[in-house]
Structure 1
Amino acid sequence: MGDNAIKLRDVGEDVIRPQSQTEAKAVTALLKELARDDAALAEVMNGNGPLKPFLIAALSLSPYLRDIATISPRLLTTAITEPLEETLRRMIDGARACWRPREGRTPSEAEVMASLRIAKRSVSFLAALADLARLFTARDTTCYLTLLADAVVAASIDHLLLAAHESGKMVLKNPERPSEGSGLIVLGMGKLGGHELNYSSDIDIVVFFDPESGILPDPLDGSEIYGRMMRRLVRILQERTADGYVFRTDLRLRPDPGSTPLAVPVEAGLLYYESRGQNWERAAFIKARAMAGDIAAGEWFLRQLVPFVFRKYLDYAAIADIHSIKRQIHVHKGHGAIAVKGHDVKLGRGGIREIEFFAQTQQLIAGGRMPPLRTRQTKVALEKLAEANWITSEIAAELTEAYWFLRDVEHRIQMVRDEQTHSLPETEAELKRIAFMLGFPDTASFAVRLEGVLRTVEKRYARLFEQETKLSGVEGNLVFTGQQDDPETLKTLAALGFHRPSDISRVIRTWHYGRYRATQSVESRERLTELTPDLLKAFGESSRADEALLRFDGFLSGLPAGIQLFSLIGNNPALLSLIVTVMSAAPRLADIISSRPHVFDGMLDPGLMAELPTRDYLSERLRVFLMASRHYEELLDRLRIFAAEQRFLIGIRLLTGAIDGAQAGRAFTDLADLLIEQALAAVEREIEGAHGRYPGGRVALMGMGKLGSFELTAASDVDLILLYDYDDEAFESEGPKALDSTRYYTRLTQRLIAALSAPMAEGVLFEVDMRLRPSGNKGPVATRIRAFRKYQQEEAWTWEHMALTRARMVCGEASLVEEAQAVISDVLSRRGDGGKIAADIREMRDLIEQEKPPRGIWDLKLIPGGLIDIEFIAQYLRLVAPGKGLAVDTNGMSTDEALEALGREMLSADDLATMREALRLFTELSQIIRLCIDGGFDPKEAPVGLVERVCRAGDCPDIRTLEGEVKRLSKAVRAIFRKLVS
């Protein structure tokens, strides 16, 4: 960056031009509109200088920049009147200082978030215009974007530390400089570490902390305090608000991200890298840089890692992972051929990644003996390699020029709509947009230049590996080309844990031949090729690796497209172990991700396993997710999308043991409550729009069964009763298409059932069961509250009162909810005939046993002494409690909570403990089985991963021991049932 004051007015003639006259006219009209209130812009628009056509071209080529100019016209004024570099530095300095107390008041988190977002938008706008005007080079742009990232992360960290200090959770050494001496280390990785951020980049950071830094009251609380702080950091930086977002933030480059907190203690980090660090992590730490928090501590930490990253001796074996990927990508002619349309300029052949690999592999090999090679920036690394005579100066210059050209292309791709993509458009029209943004007169000349650069990079990258002959002899070949198995590859597969390496080799060749829809495109095959080594290693470590990988193969064969999923897995290595778990244990979840790959998006949240899916957690996410819904059908579709994603994420937490069966039941139920509430509100709006409001109309929904007792599973339907009331003097609704009360509430109920259970593009929300309403299927679908009260008090059978013990008001008008709850309380507080209740329950259980006998010992609901017996005992206790002088309200409780509340007075301590032990085990097993498979569980037929998971859930070493536990407990429960209900 130069010292001269660069201004946008310095732009030359015909630097860029609009893609079409239509867009140019629209932008011209916009600029003239904005110029009415802006003298500086008016001067530009009324003049004949080069700035006017440049602005028209820039805003027409980039909808993103056009949107910013529309939202923030003052930014446009700033851009055309003020020195660019000085202004950018001022904006970045402002962002860095936004945490500081002003006028005696510390800014709130919302204020800090707003300041950072405005800074991001402003810097992005000015940097893009300067870049498009060729006043900045790609190097300038990446530098300013990195400086911004440094500033916003550092400001966020200082804000969070100060907030912790002010709340008493820690005592800072100097509140005016919160990070100093804090021992909180924030390392920028990848392009952030190398001062090379791309225009729409996410940022990779790794966080360590020193628990002995002296600021924590109790050093043992460090992981919890800093873990919460990092979740807030991610929220501050990447949550989308009205002001946009700052940076998508990735913390997954930390040690063992699947099992470590978001902030890792320093000693644990050093121990990990010393004993378990991987070669890919060595490559990643080449670019690591202390960029926020305690900078001095961060630099000390990186110095400790130098022996790990840069070894003393020539280390050819260290790049075996990169080499195996390279061998697959380049193993035969025509595979992944260089193209222009759709080409990924980062990961594709001849792309940015190959230049980075070219430099990094040689830095790893020789950096231990040649300290000058230990540099973060790709350009500098190439220069140092040439100075060390490791490569020629010609190659260094060639690759440096290629690198910055490809970075220019990458920036233009991302400037169009601020999307984190590296792929050129597939269409001629959109490719023309990119060519014009780069200053080319047409797509043909751009294509010639791009292809030349890509071929140069490809040639240099390939020759690097060909020249290093030792690399071709490393152990661990993974080659899947031709018709015959590669002998060394079969040895590698066997060593990885596969018992049938030839079959596995054949399967993987099928992937690379493009015989599945998911692998038909060149880009999909390239992404899958890069993923294959890690994929095989992960599957190889699972039990019955062959079976798990073959299930993954079946999953691939049914995918309509693969690029999205492969990119997701490839960019997020932590997801791989979860995929292996799903494929080895949960075919039902595998089917879900086959049909709805978008469910994986939620797994990118770094706090997924740490945060419980509470009602508040789900409610906030649903609120944000529904904000964009504009009409009824869109809202229902978005409810289905949200339901599928959150059910899947709850299921993943259950499968991995992050939550237990009871927590899963509550989470599935909380999710159902929220979705049903939104669906009811939407249906009411639709009915009122068509038929008007019903005078005095009130509606409420009662949840029954597992919905009422917070025990839904991943596959449960929902039992509902719709209650309503209205003014007695009203005979019809007030709308243009008026309806009488019966038809009005019947239609509302039918619309609600359709909203929940009708198949739509995104599937079904819930199957709805309304048979528990008064008179069952023969009665009206909606029930007036007074009819419900009369029926429950005068006509209901014992089994209906049993069902009422699990009833819970899910949503609706507050006064009607209260009235319905009063009906439930009144009915269940009456003294019943204990003998008749017991006889009715016994008769009902006998009938179920006759009509629906259990399918075996693993039919945990229906077996004698299974879940139905336990639920019936809890219901029996609730119905006879008033007759024993007990006033215990169990509505809104789970079966376990109801047993605990009632059993203390009505059961022996041993019987209560037995019942609760059985309930916990049967619930845990049922939740996992219903999550993982459809239909019954047979250990001989079930996936081995599922068998292992249920054994782990039952804390048993094998399935036979677990079966013995189920038999022991079910026998004990049946004995208690007979003793009580006799």
Structure 2
Amino acid sequence: MKAVFSAASLEGARSRAQAHAPFLALLLAREPALAENLEAALADPLAAARALSGDMPEARRLRIERRRLALLVALGDLSGQFDLTRVTGLLSDFADDAIDRAIRTAIRERTPDAEPRGFTAIALGKQGSRELNYSSDVDPILLYDPVTLPCRPREEVEDAAVRIARRMVELLQTPDGDGYVLRVDLRLRPSPEATPIALPVEAAIAYYESQALPWERAAFIRARACAGDRALGEQFLAAIRPFVWRRALDFGAIREIRDISRRIRDHYAQSQAFGPGYDLKRGRGGIREIEFFAQIHQLIHGGRDPALRAPATRDALAALAEAGWIGRGEAEALCAAYVALRTAEHRLQMVDDLQTHRLPADRAALDNVARLDGLADGEALLAGLRPHIEKVGATYDALADDGAPRLPSGGDGLQARLADAGFDNAAGAARIVAGWRGGSYPALRSPAAREALEALLPGLIDAFAHAPDSTHAITRFDAMLSRLPSAINFFRLLEAQPGLTQLLSAILCHAPTLAEQLGRRAELLDGLIDATALDPMPGIAALAAEMSICERGADYQWQLEHVRRLVGEKRFALGAQIVAGAGDPLEVSAGYARVAEAAIETLAGATVAEFARVHGRVPDSELVILALGRMGGQALTHASDLDLVYVFTGDYAAESVGPKPIGAVTYYNRLSQRVTGALSVATAAGPLYDVDTRLRPSGTQGPLAVSLDGFRRYQREEAWTWEHMALTRARPVFGSPEARAAVTAIIDEVLNGARPERDIVADAAKMRDDMAAHKPPKGPLDAKLLPGGLVDLEFAVHTLQLVHRTGFAPRLTDAIDALVAAGLMPASMRAAHDLLSRLLVTLRLVAPDAQPPDAETQALIARALGLESWDAVVASLERTRQDVQACWAAIRGG
């Protein structure tokens, strides 16, 4: 859409430019034809700038284009026809084009017949985010591909790359009578004091993957391939994306960004106070602090939420507000300040085309800048900027948290502080803190670790002091620290996310299962910084898509580690939901199952592909994985194992087609072993699941994988009652839709009567008695194994299903509802199931020994069950057990 220009506003802009900006006055004089036809030129400034007649060298053409565009952008800006986005976009688009043409010219001057490829420019800073200043320099990183870069005969490719880079810079920044094109700063490349100005792309990737400093991560938030071989540039950026956007964030990077800001404030102390001489970019409350504010939040949360990776500052602030990480009002205020400060900065630069950010200290010069902007004088300019700068300064001060309090160094002062905080045993807590400060644990031996701990201690101590049992909390934390090999990042995570400290305290007080996992892998806490960590777990498809992400050059082992790490994080987050009171244990139980099913889908798929790489595939055949037990019923606990059965379709006598062909039976048994290993073998990322395959045909005496025909035959002719009871919760969780349907059809046939006639009630009663004799309850709260617990309820459900051939559904709740509807089971059994299941899921985290916990944890259990007190929990459990016992007794006949 063409812009509509006001002649009056344009004439006012031209008059102010001639009166208050010598640089613009000179351009108006040098470009009379353009000045006479401004309205048409402003409709498309880039095209108007490029509309040059006559043949001339590329360098001169670029210089003239630049001065023409500078004039048009300034007048469009001063007249109010161009907003800040339009201004910076035009300047950035010109810079991209100029660098691209300079690269192509440099290559073609040396190798005229070669295609200009293998050399790329990565834009950083404001050019990268398309927010370039009116008179800014550009900060590209120049990279080349040694394989594809054109070279002269017998020339070393490294020398060719450097010569191309030097010529590119010369074309852009060498001034002459027509001015210059762009100032080029190449100091943001890796190790600029020791590296050539153009780097081989693989060397740059290796640097960012292994040696780069934290501030370089922040720089790459705004990086993009802007010129030259853009495909090469995009490949580079894709390769280093994991370096920039880390899921497990190094909070040392956040500290370093804050430290950079503090050092800038210190260095420019003379221009911190707002007024004449104030630095719009580096001063307190200035442009840099708005940028850093956005980037710090992006670094914290962008690794888990790609929507936050917006390069432009205002886009980033809007995305952060949309995601709930900052307030909408806060984002709007910072965006308004950004526009006001950048606009004033542009006015400064228009005066003499200087790369300056500081308001003039001289009153007359300040008045001149204000009048260029159409204001009465410098006081009016300062009055307009002051509220923005005060708002930004206060907002960033709160984020930077300068002058944070520290805990007393020791002695009576420390003990008194702990007592004042509310510690039950202040003397004991003081001894623990003194031990940490003494560096007695491996994780605390470095000065950096102890410094990170000191910054965290005030908040940590306050959180523990307010815990239900402060002594328990600090001693468990101490035990966890004793097992950690490193703790710096863990401390900085807690420092940067104070809310996590409260949740950590609750976990340490109430959930020994989670506390033990944290002691092995402190980074599990990282997963809780995500805004959705305490929300219900996503669906299986979304989880599997996240687990299937593969980094550049990743192999099968990397995929296994990736899935194990994600599963560990998500299971930990599900447990934290119960501790935090953020999730119904029934929904958490279903979430555990969705995570497990996504892991099976992802790891089995990767294992099948890896196995096929060596042995090929068996024609017209595939693996199907059948889940039984709690996994089949989509209701796991934190400690559940996976009951799996492996079935394969097709001809069991067939052979695979591949480099190393093997028969189908051997093929699928080996493949099933690999899948079991992928799901169960512990690695550096921790254990995954215990896999139980004893429910397969013939149990441990049978092969691990059985053909579809063998599975059908066994279930129809040989399986015992207990195996058919297990089959009531069977559900395919891996395989094509057609293969899953084939297995499901067999299960349906068997359950609906295609099985040996047996005395189901007698068999079930004997099995339950044998189980009670050999596997007694763990304790008085064992919701599973106590008489009238979940096992009795499951026996009741499965016996009724098999006897009456109805109510079949893998989910126990659906089966109970169907049996109740059929009049076969009391309606109270659904509520019994829900209470027992909630109790089981909760106790697996907070009281895995099934013994009554302390009073504070009793309150947590009551809350999880939706009951008002521990007495209500005990009474409800007893009443429910009696109901289930009566139901099961009626079914078994005594």
* Partner Cα separation in structure 2 for residue 780 and residue 244 of structure 1: 60
Say if 1:525 and 1:873 are closer, same or farther in 2 by CA, change over 3 A. Answer: same
Q: Superposed, which structure 2 residues align to 1:703-714 within 5 Å?
A: 703-714=627-638
Displacement, 1:561?
1.5
2:412 aligned residue (485, 494, 519)? 485
String of CA shifts for 1:249-289, please: whole Å, max 9, x gaps. Answer: 9969x9xx9xxx768799xxxxxxxxxxxxxxxxxx9xx97
Say if 1:789 and 1:598 are closer, same or farther in 2 by CA, change over 3 A. Answer: same
SS class of match (2:886):
helix
SS class of match (2:822):
helix
SS class of match (2:412):
coil
SS class of match (1:809):
strand
* Partner Cα separation in structure 2 for residue 673 and residue 239 of structure 1: 30
The question of 1:810 aligning with 2:727 is answered no
* Partner Cα separation in structure 2 for residue 876 and residue 835 of structure 1: 12
Say if 1:772 and 1:832 are closer, same or farther in 2 by CA, change over 3 A. Answer: closer
Amino acid in the other structure paired with 2:849? G
* Partner Cα separation in structure 2 for residue 245 and residue 701 of structure 1: 49
SS class of match (1:59):
coil
Say if 1:769 and 1:507 are closer, same or farther in 2 by CA, change over 3 A. Answer: same
2:728–2:798 Cα contact (<8 Å) kept: yes
* Partner Cα separation in structure 1 for residue 314 and residue 710 of structure 2: 53
String of CA shifts for 1:799-850, please: whole Å, max 9, x gaps. Answer: 1110000000001133221110000111111288998111111111111111
* Partner Cα separation in structure 1 for residue 487 and residue 680 of structure 2: 29
Name the structure 1 match of 2:433.
508
* Partner Cα separation in structure 2 for residue 694 and residue 265 of structure 1: 57
Which range moved further: 777-786 or 508-517?
A: 508-517
Q: Superposed, which structure 2 residues align to 1:347-386 within 5 Å?
A: none
String of CA shifts for 1:516-559, please: whole Å, max 9, x gaps. Answer: 22222222222222222222222222212222122112222222
1:234–1:249 Cα contact (<8 Å) kept: no
2:548–2:602 Cα contact (<8 Å) kept: no
Say if 1:494 and 1:774 are closer, same or farther in 2 by CA, change over 3 A. Answer: same
Name the structure 1 match of 2:813.
896
Displacement, 1:900?
0.7
* Partner Cα separation in structure 1 for residue 22 and residue 619 of structure 2: 74
Name the structure 2 match of 1:976.
887
* Partner Cα separation in structure 2 for residue 16 and residue 822 of structure 1: 62
CA RMSD of aligned residues (A): 5.4
Displacement, 1:606?
2.1
Which range moved further: 492-501 or 856-865?
A: 492-501
The question of 1:195 aligning with 2:287 is answered yes
String of CA shifts for 1:209-244, please: whole Å, max 9, x gaps. Answer: xxxxxxxxxxxxxxxxxxxxxx99995742599x99
Displacement, 1:902?
2.0
- Larger C-alpha radius of gyration, 1 or 2? 2
Name the structure 1 match of 2:308.
238
Q: Superposed, which structure 2 residues align to 1:808-847 within 5 Å?
A: 808-830=731-753, 836-847=759-770
Q: Superposed, which structure 2 residues align to 1:356-435 within 5 Å?
A: none
1:613–1:650 Cα contact (<8 Å) kept: no
Q: Superposed, which structure 2 residues align to 1:589-608 within 5 Å?
A: 589-608=514-533
Q: Superposed, which structure 2 residues align to 1:357-756 within 5 Å?
A: 478-481=407-410, 484-486=411-413, 489-610=414-535, 612-624=537-549, 626-628=550-552, 630-727=554-651, 731-756=654-679
Amino acid in the other structure paired with 1:881? H
Amino acid in the other structure paired with 2:515? A
* Partner Cα separation in structure 2 for residue 846 and residue 67 of structure 1: 77
Displacement, 1:901?
1.8
1:490–1:502 Cα contact (<8 Å) kept: yes
Name the structure 1 match of 2:212.
none
SS class of match (1:485):
helix
Structure 1 unaligned regions, length at least 5:
72-90, 93-113, 122-136, 143-189, 207-230, 267-284, 297-370, 383-402, 404-419, 423-456, 466-475
Amino acid in the other structure paired with 1:291? L
String of CA shifts for 1:697-744, please: whole Å, max 9, x gaps. Answer: 21110001011000111111111111012346x642222322122211
Say if 1:614 and 1:734 are closer, same or farther in 2 by CA, change over 3 A. Answer: closer
* Partner Cα separation in structure 2 for residue 494 and residue 527 of structure 1: 23
SS class of match (1:603):
helix
Provide TM-score, normalisation by structure 1. 0.56
The question of 1:290 aligning with 2:333 is answered yes
The question of 1:779 aligning with 2:822 is answered no
Say if 1:627 and 1:904 are closer, same or farther in 2 by CA, change over 3 A. Answer: farther
Say if 1:560 and 1:205 are closer, same or farther in 2 by CA, change over 3 A. Answer: closer
Amino acid in the other structure paired with 1:858? L
String of CA shifts for 1:164-216, please: whole Å, max 9, x gaps. Answer: xxxxxxxxxxxxxxxxxxxxxxxxxx99965333877645789xxxxxxxxxx
Which range moved further: 755-764 or 675-684?
A: 755-764
Displacement, 1:762?
1.8
Q: Superposed, which structure 2 residues align to 1:944-959 within 5 Å?
A: 945-959=856-870
- Between the two proteins, the alignment pairs up a number of residues equal to 639
SS class of match (1:783):
strand
Say if 1:265 and 1:905 are closer, same or farther in 2 by CA, change over 3 A. Answer: farther
Say if 1:699 and 1:508 are closer, same or farther in 2 by CA, change over 3 A. Answer: same
SS class of match (1:738):
coil
* Partner Cα separation in structure 1 for residue 672 and residue 306 of structure 2: 42
1:654–1:660 Cα contact (<8 Å) kept: yes
Q: Superposed, which structure 2 residues align to 1:148-187 within 5 Å?
A: none
Q: Superposed, which structure 2 residues align to 1:250-261 within 5 Å?
A: none
Amino acid in the other structure paired with 2:876? E
Provide TM-score, normalisation by structure 2. 0.62
1:493–1:501 Cα contact (<8 Å) kept: yes
Identity, in percent, stands at: 28
The question of 1:936 aligning with 2:863 is answered no
Structure 2 unaligned regions, length at least 5:
1-20, 24-66, 71-94, 103-133, 203-221, 224-237, 246-262, 269-281, 340-382
Q: Superposed, which structure 2 residues align to 1:51-62 within 5 Å?
A: 58-61=188-191
* Partner Cα separation in structure 2 for residue 734 and residue 44 of structure 1: 60
* Partner Cα separation in structure 1 for residue 820 and residue 595 of structure 2: 29
Displacement, 1:951?
2.4
* Partner Cα separation in structure 1 for residue 419 and residue 497 of structure 2: 26
Name the structure 2 match of 1:272.
none
1:639–1:765 Cα contact (<8 Å) kept: no
